[in-house]
Chains A and B, each alone.
Chain A
Amino acid sequence: MTSSISLRWPTRRGLPPLPFVVGIAALLAALSFSARVVELDLGKLAHSFVQLFVFAGNFFVTPDWAYLPDLFARMAETVGMALLATTIALFASVPLAVLAARNATPNIFVYRVARDFLSVVRALPELVWALVFVSAVGLGPLPGVMALSVVTIGFMGKLFAESIEVVDRKAVEGVKVVGARWFQLRIFAMLPQAMPDLIGTTMYIIDHNIRAAAILGIVGAGGIGFDMIESMHLFRFARLILITASIYVLVSLLDHISPWLREKVI
């Protein structure tokens, strides 16, 4: 039998390209090393599917319908937290964004400080902030709102600043030439131009914050996550199935409504 089974790759030497091989090798090395660190092995992985299956069986119970009103209250609380936090952040980030925009900032030092501040505030996950605030002010929705506001300021500030940086220079020049002063220039020339972007960004952030608010309760910061942890610890599967379903419904609703709403407003 001749070597009609000798296969090769369609390259000059018949071997796969070098960067590709190196990349794959590096990836495999990283994966096998991490696997040990993460206590992962195929046997465990396979077994986990069985365990998950068994666990899922717990959910086949009659839901605790009496819990429904409380559930709705919690959901409303979640959405309310998100709205509050976003609005607070909105008021704080607009001035910050002006400082963090290269074309609107009073001087380069302020610009650097503002940008770095926004970066740092943004870098930590919301949950970490929530932990800190819960530890500071206690349980409940207040720390949740505070944590969300802080992180949102970071995101909004950065995105708003970028929107401001791309406004049309000529339009700004036009207003400047007529004698506008520092504040007037920003309020009447720059911000109005950045407005459509700002609205779009805000809508995206509200969507994101509702999802985040649903989770913050896990560390005690209000919202539906709180109920979830509680039910989990008490093994109240009758409630857990309702909570899980409501989170799923919330996220799906957001998935469908957000793009539709965005089109309507923009």
Chain B
Amino acid sequence: MSLIRIVELNKTFGNGIKALQSVSLEIEAGSFVVVLGPSGAGKSTLLRCINRLEIPGSGTVSVAGEELNAANVRRVRSQVGMVFQQFNLVGRLNVMTNVLTGRLSHLSVFEGIASLGYLFGKTDCQIAREALERVGLAARAWDRADRLSGGEQQRVGIARALAQRPRVMLADEPVASLDPVTGDGIMNLLKEICVTDKLTVIVNLHQVSLARRFADRIVGMNSGRIVFDGSPRDLNSDALKTIYGEAIEHEYGVSAAEHSLPAGRLMAASPIPISLAQRVL
């Protein structure tokens, strides 16, 4: 059974924009999925529906067999860590406290009350420290979060998510605010976490090259629909055009000759049912 099941998700915003249109997707445990697409394609909305930061108009999202609704939000979120483009750390607090907030949903009632006074137990402190060491920032544990560089802040964000001991890691444009070298480092870290900790990682990106290098599976979106679903090898110029439109060829200079596969043939990385309308060519 797949870890995440998304069935017929629809979301329309107040100003009439259809962010998601009949999106269905299944994600296996342990995979590294990249959601690719231009701005406004619905990538963010899709990701945020998985931890209910956005509430879909219709359709269901299930994580580990449990269907998400208003009642189990906190419980599901404790299993789903998220990393943001703007890092979303609490700047005034130190790095360690930021990572500790990842433990907040795992506390007992007594510990929960203590946390309101900024008190944490030994085990939670231990877990937070391990997460910080994992991302290589143990030395900065007591610095204020807003004193760190962009790349370091993102690592803290990842540490916070890791402290949750989650089963799923969501990353919404994690490297869009970072320079290419730092961004590479973050992507490497995410990939390593996926492989070593056997986490399911779903990343939103708009950089095609990163998607190619790191993804096990690429889901292409455009205008609220999934228009591509396959391995990086299948991402040829025609596929890119479907996702991004005509301009992409000029941007990335992709030609069919780069790939040994005949243009347009879809090879799914795993047996995922895709409706006829969504199959590329």
CA gap between A7 and B100 in the complex, in Å: 13
B13 on interface, CB distance cutoff 8 Å = no
B200 on interface, CB distance cutoff 8 Å = no
Q: What string of 1s and 0s marks CB contacts (under 8 Å) between A2-34 and chain B?
A: 011111111110001000000000000000000
Tell me which residues across on chain B come within 8 A of A6, comparing CB atoms.
121-122
What is the distance, in angstroms, from A51's C-beta to the closest C-beta of chain B?
34
B123 on interface, CB distance cutoff 8 Å = yes
Contact A12 B120 (CB under 8 A): no
Contact B142 A7 (CB under 8 A): no
A4-B97 in contact given A11-B142, A12-B142 (Cβ < 8 Å): no
Q: What string of 1s and 0s marks CB contacts (under 8 Å) between A34-74 and chain B?
A: 00000000000000000000000000000000000000000
What is the distance, in angstroms, from A3's C-beta to the closest C-beta of chain B?
7
Q: How large is the interface on A (under 10, 10 to 19, 20 to 34, 35 or more residues)?
A: 10 to 19
Interchain Cβ contacts under 8 Å between A and B, 8 examples: A4-B121, A5-B121, A7-B121, A8-B122, A9-B119, A10-B93, A10-B97, A11-B142
> Residues of B within 8 Å of A, CB-based: how many?
15
Interface of chain A, helix or strand or loop or mixed?
loop
CA gap between A82 and B96 in the complex, in Å: 56
What is the distance, in angstroms, from A99's C-beta to the closest C-beta of chain B?
43
Q: Which among B96, B118, B122, B142 is the interface contact of A4 at CB below 8 angstroms?
A: B122
Tell me which residues across on chain A come within 8 A of B118, comparing CB atoms.
9-10, 16
Q: Which among A3, A7, A11 is the interface contact of B114 at CB below 8 angstroms?
A: A7
Tell me which residues across on chain A come within 8 A of B114, comparing CB atoms.
7
Q: In this complex, what residue of A is CB-closest to B99?
A: A10
CA gap between A11 and B121 in the complex, in Å: 13
Tell me which residues across on chain A come within 8 A of B96, comparing CB atoms.
10
Tell me which residues across on chain B come within 8 A of A3, comparing CB atoms.
122
Tell me which residues across on chain A come within 8 A of B7, comparing CB atoms.
none
